[in-house]
Structure 1
C-alpha cells in the first residue's frame, strides 16, 4: 500500500475537502489536488463530476494503427497458460501497446470521445474508460467488474457471450476476487447484480461488455479512511488477476513494457461521496511516438487468436 498516497487522501477526507486523485498501476506515481486547485492541464469527467468545458466543438479524428506482433502475443499467452497449469495464477490480465500515428492534441480526443469516465493528463495521456473502479456513497462501497467482450454485430452476440464457458469462468473469478477485496475494507459484501450486459460504442463498431455489481457496507467514519480504502484495493482486480500478488509478478515478467498510468485509477471526492474509474482505453504520448495500451483476461480456456482480436478491438476512440 502506498502510505503517502493513502495519508494525503485521508487528510482531505477527514476535513471533508473535495479532491481529485490519479494513481498509476504500480501505485508508485500519483497526484492529489484539492478540487478547486486542479491544474489546467488536467481535464476529467466522471458520470457526476467534470471540470471540462461543454462548449468545445468536436472534430473528426484520424489515426493509423500498427497492431502488436501476433507471434509475440501468442508466445505471451502460452506463457500465461503454463503459469496457470503450474497453479501460479487462474486469471491474468495480459496487455500490450499498439503503435498509433496521431498528430492531434489529446485534449481534442478527450472532448471527442464518448465515455462515462474520461481523463486528459497534461497532454501526456488520455483515457476514455467504460469501467468504474469503486463508488463510495451513503456508507456503501460498490464496484463493477467488467469482464467479457464481444462484437455486438455478431448474430446472437448477447446469448453467445453469456453462454461462453471461458467468458463465464473469467467473470466468476474476477467477481470472487473483488468480493474478497471489498471484504478487506467493508462488511456484508454481496453480489447485487451478476453478469449483466451493456453496449458500448467502440469507434465504428459496437461492443457488448459483461459486468457485475458488488457492494459492501462502510463505517460512518469512512471519509477519514478514504485513502486507506482505495490503496488497499489496488491494483484493480479486473486488470491484474487472481491470486492478485502472484499474477502481478507474472505480468511484470511477461509484458515487457511499463504500464505506467495505464490500468491505474483516477477519481473525485466531493465531500460526500467518491467516484472513480479504471484507466483503460488509454492513449499515451511517448518519446517513441503514440501508443494505445489495451488487453484482456487470460484463463486456461483462452484461445490466443480470440484474445488477440479482442486486444485489437479495444484500440478505438469511442466517438459521439
Structure 2
C-alpha cells in the first residue's frame, strides 16, 4: 500500500503534520536494466512529469520524490553509479485536496483515521507508540569504503580543488545493514529519538524511504498569504508589496545547511560546541560558498531585486548534532515546479560549488548511486510547497537498509576528521553489537541438552567476538565476579571457557535440584554473564495433544542478516510478533524472509510434511539452528530434507510441527 507520513519538530519533540495513503493518481519514471545497460528517463520526460505535477497541484495534494540522479539528468552530467532496476528516478502521487483552512476533511485517499490517532492536545504525538504494529531489527553495518580508500578519495578531491575545478565537493558513501521487521515502526523509533523538522516516511510498495532530514530544500507560498517565521520586515524592505512584480506571485525560501558538530546533554558543553562551530573558518566558508551558489540559482528564476539574504550564518541544534544554516528568500511569479526545479535541483548543499563541475567530480569519485538520498521529498497542499533535502535518509528494500552519509570537502578538510564526522552522522541507524542468550529446561537438577547449548553459545560468542564471560558472583559467595584476562573468545582459550561455563551451570543445577525450571543465560556484549530462572509448570496431557494455532507475521525478516544465525539478545521482531499473535488468539507467529520463504517461529523451528515427506527450511533462509532442531536432524536426518517453503505453498502442507528445547515437539496448524 502506498503510504506517506510527514512529521515536523517543536522544540525537541517530533510532531505529526500529515498522513496520506491510496493515491488517486500517480506517476513514476523508473530506471530500467536492459542486459548490462541502464536506461533512464530523458530530460524531456522529467520536464513533462514536472508539468503534470503543476497541473495536479491545482486540484490535489501532491507528494513528490526526486532522486539525485534526476538532477544529473536535468543538469546533463554523469551519475556516480547506476540505479537498480525499477528504482524511481522521479515519482509523484496525487491525493484528494485538504480543506483550504488546513483542517482535514474526510476525503477519499486521506488517511484521516491514522492521522487522528497520532494527534492529541495541541498537535503533539502520543508517546505510547500505540500506532506501531510491530518491531524491527538491524544487522551489522557495512561501508562500501574503508578508511584507506576514503582518505584516497579525499586527497583526489583536494587535488581537483587545487586545480580550480571546484571550491567544495560534497562526498558521500552509502552504508548497508540487513533490515528485518516493520519499516514504519523503524521510522517512528527514529523520528522520536532524533526529531527533525522535515521527517518523512514513504512506503512505495517495492521499497520504503525513511528520512529524518533537518534541512529545507525550498518552500514556496503565495506572497499574499505568507506569514514568515523570520525576517518579515527585512523581506518587505527588499520586496515592495505595492510593486506589481512582487504582489501577485510566490515567495521562495531556501535554508542551506553546512558544518556539523556533535550535541550532548550538557547545556554548558553544548554552548561551547555551538560557539566552536560558529567560529570555525572552514565551516563558515563552506556555508558561505553554498549560500552564494543558491542565491545565484534563485537569481536565475527571480526578477531583479527579487532575492534576499535574510539570515547569513546561524547555528541550529538537533538531538545529536549542531549545524550552521542560512536563510535566503526570493520571489517567483508563478510557483511552477517545471520552471523552478531545473534551476534549483539538486540542492547545492549536497553537491558543492560550482554545481555542474562539482557534480562531474562526484561522478568520478563516488562509485555507487545516491538515489533518494541527497535528492528531495516534497509535499504540496493548498498551493503551498515544502521540499526537504533528503539527508539523514535511508531506503529499505529486499531485506536491506541503505543509509547515505557524507560531508563537504574543501582544501581545509582533514581526512581523519571527515571520516569521524561521517560515522557520527550514521549514528542514528548504527546498531550496537548484540549479546547472546540461551533458554534451557532445568528439570530436577538436570539441564536438558546442556552440552549442545554450551557449544552453541560459545561458538556464537567466538563468531561475534564477544569478550570472555565475566560471571556474576554466586548468591552464596562473597567472592568478586570471575574475570578472565583474555579479551575475547578464541581458539586458544575455548577449552578453558567451556570448563568455566560448565562449572557455572553445575552450581545453578545444584541450587535447583527439585522442580521444573526455565533457565535463561545472558552473555552481554560487554562480557557480563548472568542468568534468570523461573518455575515451569509441566504440560498437561490435553495440552500436549492440542494443536498450536499459528499466524503469519506481518513483516519480513532479512535472510542476509548474519545475526539471525545466532541466538542474540536483539529480539524485538520476535518478541513483539509473538505478543501480537497471542493478543490475537494465536500461539505462535511464523516469520518469512524477503523472498517470501518461511523461516522460523518466534520461539520455535519449523518442520513440515509435503507429499508424504518431511522437510525443514535451510539455514540460508535466515534462521537460528535450534538445539532441538539439531537433535532431530542428527537422529532422523535420513528422513528429513532441507527445502525452502514459500508462503504460497502453506495451503498444500500436510502437517506442521514446531520444535524448541523447552517444549519439545508441538503439532500446529494455520
Task: Tell me which interval the TM-score lies in, with the shorter structure as reference length.
Answer: 0.7 to 0.9
Q: Where does residue 69 of structure 2 map in the other structure?
A: 26
Larger Rg: 2
Matched, 1:88 2:170: no
Q: Where does residue 143 of structure 1 map in the other structure?
A: 254
Structure 2 counterparts to residues 11-90 of structure 1, below 5 A: 11-13=55-57, 15-27=58-70, 29-36=89-96, 53=115, 54=118, 56-57=131-132, 63=138, 64-67=140-143, 68-90=145-167
Q: Give the alignment partner of residue 199 of structure 1, picking from 300, 310, 317.
A: 317
Q: Where does residue 409 of structure 2 map in the other structure?
A: 298
For 2:329 and 2:296, locate their aligned partners in 1 and report how far apart those are by CA, in whole Å: 11
Q: Where does residue 46 of structure 1 map in the other structure?
A: none
Segments of 5+ residues of structure 2 without an aligned counterpart are 1-42, 74-88, 98-109, 119-129, 224-249, 430-670
Matched, 1:116 2:191: no
SS at match of 2:96: helix
Q: In 2 relative to 1, CA 18–173 (structure 1 residues): closer, same or farther, beyond 3 Å?
A: same
Q: Where does residue 326 of structure 2 map in the other structure?
A: 212
Q: Which has the higher contact order (CA 8 A, sep 6+)?
A: 1
Q: Where does residue 282 of structure 1 map in the other structure?
A: 393
Structure 2 counterparts to residues 110-259 of structure 1, below 5 A: 110-114=187-191, 115-117=196-198, 118-122=200-204, 123-137=207-221, 138=223, 139-153=250-264, 156-187=272-303, 188-201=306-319, 206-219=320-333, 221-222=334-335, 225-259=336-370
For 2:209 and 2:260, locate their aligned partners in 1 and report how far apart those are by CA, in whole Å: 24
The CA deviation at 1:125 is: 2.9
SS at match of 2:297: helix
Q: Deviations over 1:209-245 (max 9, x none)?
A: 11110001121x33xx233212321111100111100
For 1:240 and 1:218, locate their aligned partners in 2 and report how far apart those are by CA, in whole Å: 24
Q: Deviations over 1:80-104 (max 9, x none)?
A: 1011001111111100011224323
For 1:238 and 1:130, locate their aligned partners in 2 and report how far apart those are by CA, in whole Å: 13
For 2:315 and 2:277, locate their aligned partners in 1 and report how far apart those are by CA, in whole Å: 9
The CA deviation at 1:58 is: 8.6
The CA deviation at 1:194 is: 1.5
Q: Give the alignment partner of residue 102 of structure 1, picking from 179, 183, 190.
A: 179
For 1:177 and 1:279, locate their aligned partners in 2 and report how far apart those are by CA, in whole Å: 19
The CA deviation at 1:113 is: 2.4
Of 189-198 and 107-116, more deviation after overlay is shown by 107-116
For 1:58 and 1:313, locate their aligned partners in 2 and report how far apart those are by CA, in whole Å: 30
Segments of 5+ residues of structure 1 without an aligned counterpart are 38-49
SS at match of 2:301: coil
For 1:59 and 1:80, locate their aligned partners in 2 and report how far apart those are by CA, in whole Å: 44
For 1:131 and 1:121, locate their aligned partners in 2 and report how far apart those are by CA, in whole Å: 21
Q: In 2 relative to 1, CA 60–308 (structure 1 residues): closer, same or farther, beyond 3 Å?
A: farther
Q: In 2 relative to 1, CA 151–244 (structure 1 residues): closer, same or farther, beyond 3 Å?
A: same
Q: Deviations over 1:25-61 (max 9, x none)?
A: 0216111121239xxxxxxxxxxxx966425149876
